[in-house]
Amino acid sequence: MNRMVDLHTAELSTITYCDAVAWIEASAVETQRGGFARLCVDVDGGAFDGVVGGSEPAVLLLHGFPQTHLAWRFVASRLAHTHTVVATDLPGYSRVRLLLSNRSGGATVSRTCVFVMMECVTAVASWEPLGAMPCFQRSMTMIEPPRAEIDGIALNRIRTGSRNTSTVVLVHAVGYDLTYWDRQIEALLPKVDVVAFDLPGHGRSAGGPQECRFDRLSAIVAHLIRETGAHPVHLVGISFGGMVAQTTVLAYPELIRSLTLIGTAARFSDPVRAAMRARADTIRNGGMASVLQSSLERWFTPETMERRPDIIDRVSKTVLGDDPEVQAAIWDLIANDFDVHDRLGEIHCPTLVLVGERDPSTPISASAALAEGIAGAEIQILPATSHLATIESPNAVNAALLRFIAAH
């Protein structure tokens, strides 16, 4: 029940009535009221990987093509307060044989269930196997995310929201990508113009270790800002993205209207730098899997690790897919080349510093040093939050961002 399965190579390409019932019944074993549990169930030689949590009644969430169960992450987190939630990766991510119906007189499932698909919602009071049916097959045209040459790099970026107001540019953390700003984009887009991008060597952006220099990254951010035609912008960065944001505002102050720094620092102690170099060596020698667990434990509180396996699953898949050479180069970069503490007085734009009260990577003391070094900067401590506040406490981050941006 606890092993991970590569569903890209799963042989099972159909789901039957019995499979679905087995999945729902298996969820009863793992469910804890109000929380989530990791669930991986073998069915007739195939494997279903997903998350389950909540209380009665049950909701089975099956994704569409070509998503995974992560497409349901917002729905699952909200339904978990009132329902048992099962969100599963379908075998092979490709096609599903639907062998369920709600015709009266059929076999009755012992639990109240709702069968949900991305394009079809069917309330199922009783399910009846329909026998052999052709698999759902869909022809699809994959839409490539927009990529453009930004300062010589094919940079993946998105832009949404209102063009008739101020612009916000979001810079993600090391190892992540622009999609991890999803909760912030959702909150910001009714109010402002929002731009997010994948750092070089992350997500769908090109680039390798050679791009891992702060002057290079700052130049790329500046080029992207100029491309918007809407500068100066509100620049927001988290963790490593906050370091890039600091070097960008120092090099290109005319492009920045305000600065928001989340879970970041202006300098690190020698022991921390040594730990970063050791981390880089570990990644080069053992790949991303060698640092996954220790990273998760620094990024999230134990409560989030226990209650939100959907978040942990999503982050784990991203980290394991990262380029080890790029990640190692960034940790060496921070350890060897990042210290802007003595230049904080050169930052004159309005600045907001956000920090989780339980952040072990960039603790409150590091954020306090940032706020003290930048004239007029304000600091806000986020309760019950670790390092990646945008993911762990999105509502608190969004409220702070909306308030600060509206004021400036």
Helix (H, G, I), strand (E, B) or coil at 346: helix
- Closest among 43, 88, 116, 41 to 310, alpha carbons compared: 88
* Strands annotated E in 76-225: 84-89, 113-117, 120-124, 147-150, 153-161, 167-171, 193-197
The per-residue pLDDT for 51 is 57
Domains of the chain listed by start with CATH number: 7-124 (no CATH), 147-407 (3.40.50.1820)
Residue range 148-159, pLDDT digits in tens: 677 778 899 999
pLDDT at residue 13 tops 90: no
Q: β-strands 233-238, 351-356: how paired? A: unpaired
- Between 303 and 13, residue with greater pLDDT: 303
CB atoms within 10 A of CB 312: 20
Average predicted confidence (pLDDT) for the chain: 77
Exposed/middle/buried for 404, CB within 10 Å: 0-12, 13-18, 19+?
Answer: buried
The per-residue pLDDT for 81 is 56
- Between 298 and 24, residue with greater pLDDT: 298
The per-residue pLDDT for 88 is 61
Average pLDDT rounded to a whole number, residues 11-32: 46
The per-residue pLDDT for 103 is 29
Contact 46, 91 (CB under 8 A): yes
Cβ-based neighbours of 119, under 8 Å, separated by 6 or more: 64
Average pLDDT rounded to a whole number, residues 26-43: 46
At 161, the pLDDT band (50, 70, 90 cuts) reads: very high
**Tokens read off for 185:** 């984009």
Among the ranges given (74-83, 307-316, 349-358), the one the predictor scored with the smallest mean pLDDT: 74-83
pLDDT at residue 89 tops 90: no
Contact 303, 358 (CB under 8 A): no
Determine the Cα–Cα distance for residues 181 and 18; give it in Å rounded to an integer: 38
Determine the Cα–Cα distance for residues 221 and 163; give it in Å rounded to an integer: 19
Determine the Cα–Cα distance for residues 346 and 181; give it in Å rounded to an integer: 28
Q: Is the pTM of this model over 0.85?
A: no
pLDDT at residue 21 tops 90: no
The per-residue pLDDT for 397 is 98
- Closest among 236, 239, 299, 245 to 268, alpha carbons compared: 239
Average pLDDT rounded to a whole number, residues 226-239: 94
At 57, the pLDDT band (50, 70, 90 cuts) reads: low
Q: What are the beta bridge partners of residue 193?
A: 161, 167
Determine the Cα–Cα distance for residues 63 and 261; give it in Å rounded to an integer: 35
The per-residue pLDDT for 5 is 30
Average pLDDT rounded to a whole number, residues 78-92: 59
Exposed/middle/buried for 269, CB within 10 Å: 0-12, 13-18, 19+?
Answer: exposed
Determine the Cα–Cα distance for residues 6 and 40; give it in Å rounded to an integer: 11
pLDDT at residue 349 tops 60: yes
Longest dimension (CA), the chain: 76
Average pLDDT rounded to a whole number, residues 335-348: 97
CB atoms within 10 A of CB 272: 15
pLDDT at residue 6 tops 60: no
Contact 393, 368 (CB under 8 A): no
The per-residue pLDDT for 62 is 63
Among the ranges given (23-27, 67-71, 100-104, 208-212), the one the predictor scored with the smallest mean pLDDT: 100-104
